[in-house]
Structure formats: structure tokens, C-alpha cells
Amino acid sequence: MVEYHDLTIRDGCHAISHKLTADMIKKHCMFAEKAGIPVMEIGHGNGIGASSILIGKAELTDIEMISLAKNYLKNTKLSVHVIPGLATIERDIDPAINLGVDIFRIASHCTEATMTKSHIEYLVSRNKTVYGALMMCATCPLDVLVSEVEKMKSYGASAVIIMDSTGSFFPEDVEKTFTELSKIGIHLGFHGHNNLGLAVANSLAAIKNGATIIDATVHGFGAGAGNTPLEIMTTLHPCGNIHITDTPNYTHPVTKIINILTAKHKLHSVFEKAILESSEKYNVSIAKLVEELGNRKLVAGQEDLVRVIASQMSEQS
């Protein structure tokens, strides 16, 4: 049985510069309950503890968001995204536990699962449901990805989410990846982005090859070109008691040339704003700048380097 996780008001925060409002949370919780969504994720686009001037300041605190959601969710479980280094156990995880968060998804770059060890083990010790999540998986050799999933399993994670953060996977990549990972013996999930228009196809390929958790958002509302659209997936592959008759009014994301370029060069969508601004400021071709950033294998959190690299390219031209 496949379980759909609705990440609209977590990943969708990227699309609105993290300005999630109390009214949006209320309306989405009411939608999730009415539609029979099993799990809904909430928070800043980069997870709990991530709100900052550097990454993006949220309108509401994590505690305010979680508390509000718990007031409206009765049957739908609540999950949060956690990146060690941005979120700490004492400041961020303990309050979330006390507020009744049901599922914690501990995320790291696809080659850095060891960063999640203490957070996963702590949550296991607190008898919480905890998943691992590996970001930027299209940049990782499959044998390495296997090893990283095995690490998260050894820490006590009950599932691992494979995140195509760059929207670079093709269905054949997903098939090969999940065929191999399914041998490990842990529940697997897939988190798709639609940079190349393949989020639905990739999600269906993941299901066919062993995924039991699929991340999706209403209308694909999310970072860059958006995520796997929830309403399409639940129509093509119905699961459980989900019954979507209407959806909240979120803007349909548009796939732009920059989204295609970042997918081609395996860059996270969070670089979009910095690339566009730096290209204009330093009179550097967007295509050449994206290619250079891809060659340097930049990862999310290194947005400031875009301006430095664009400046260097301008001086050399």
C-alpha cells in the first residue's frame, strides 16, 4: 500500500519566500482532513529551526505553525522536516515532540547520512516515528546511495525518503535506484521535483519498483518548477481513502528555462533567485553561470557563492 504525504505547506513555502500564514495553515489542514490525507508536513521550506535572515525569515514560528495545525488535524498525521545543523534537539525537536508531531523526517545531503545519526537515535529513544531523508540524490552514485540508506536504517529510521531535489531523474534512473535500494529491507519513499516535467512519471516508477511513500503537493506547489502534483497522483494511482473533490487555491508552478538548466546541471532550485540576480548584476549568461555552478557541485546553503562566482566570471570575460 502506498501512502501519500502532502508537503504543500512545507515545500510550497519556497515558492512564497517562506511567508506561510495562519490562514493558509488553517485552510490546508481542513482540506487534508476532508480529503483523507494520511500525512501532512508543515514548516519553513528548509525545515524546523531554519527560519533566518540568511535562508529566509518565516512569518510564524515553528511552535505557532505546529500548534495551529494540531488544532485542526484529527485524523491526518503531522510531520516535520529536520536538517541537523539548522535544527537542534533541545531548541527545535523537543518542543515539536511536546506539541504532538507524529513523524520526524531527518534529512541530509545524499552523501552525509552520518549527520543524522544523533537526531534519529534520539527520536527512536523517545518512541517517535522517524524517517531518514536523503537530498540531492541525482548527484550521488548508486553504490554510495545504498550505503547511506543502510546507515540510516542502522540508526533506527523506519523509512528513508529519496529526494530528487534537483528534478534531474528520469524514470529509468528511478527504476534502477529503487530496484537496488529495495534489497536493503526498509520502507522507501520518493520526493520528486518537476523541472523536466517528469515528477509524475518518476513517482509512478518509484511505486512500481518498491516505494511505499510518495511526497506530493497540491497543484505541484513547491520550489522551482514545483513538486509531484497530489491530485494527479491520487487519480492515476488511488490509495487508501483519499478523496479529493476540491483543492485550496495555490498557484500552479511554471517550468522556466532556469529550472530546466538547474536540473540538467543538478543544482537545487533554491539557487534560482541568486542565479537570476547575479546574472543580471554581473552581465553573465544564465546558462554559463548555471553550468559553472554545476561543475563546482554547489549544494543548498551555498547561495552566497553564486554572487562570488558570477563576479569572477565577469572579470575573466
Report which of 278, 17, 11 is spatially closest to residue 165, judged by C-alpha positions: 11
DSSP reduced 3-state for 5 = strand
Cα torsion angle, 263, 266, 268, 273, sign: negative
For residues 88 and 65, what is the distance between their CA atoms, to the nearest angstrom?
A: 18
DSSP 280: H
Q: Give the residues across from 187 on adjacent strands.
A: 159
| Residue 14 falls in the annotated catalytic set | yes
| Cβ 216 vs Cβ 204: under 8 Å | no
- What does the alpha-carbon distance between residue 185 and residue 47 come to, in Å, rounded to a whole number? 27
E strands present in 110-246? 129-135, 159-163, 187-191, 213-216
- 3-class SS at 106? strand
- Taken in order 215, 217, 220, 224, the sign of the CA dihedral is negative
For residue 44, how many C-alpha atoms fall within 13 Å in the half-sphere facing its CB? 23
DSSP 8-state symbol, 166: T
Catalytic option among 5, 14, 119, 219: 14
Dig out the grid coordinates for 261 from the structure.
Answer: 538548466
3-state secondary structure of 169: coil
Distance in angstroms (rounded) separating the CA atoms of residues 75 and 34: 10
- In 142-294, the DSSP E strands lie at 159-163, 187-191, 213-216
Please list the active-site residues.
14
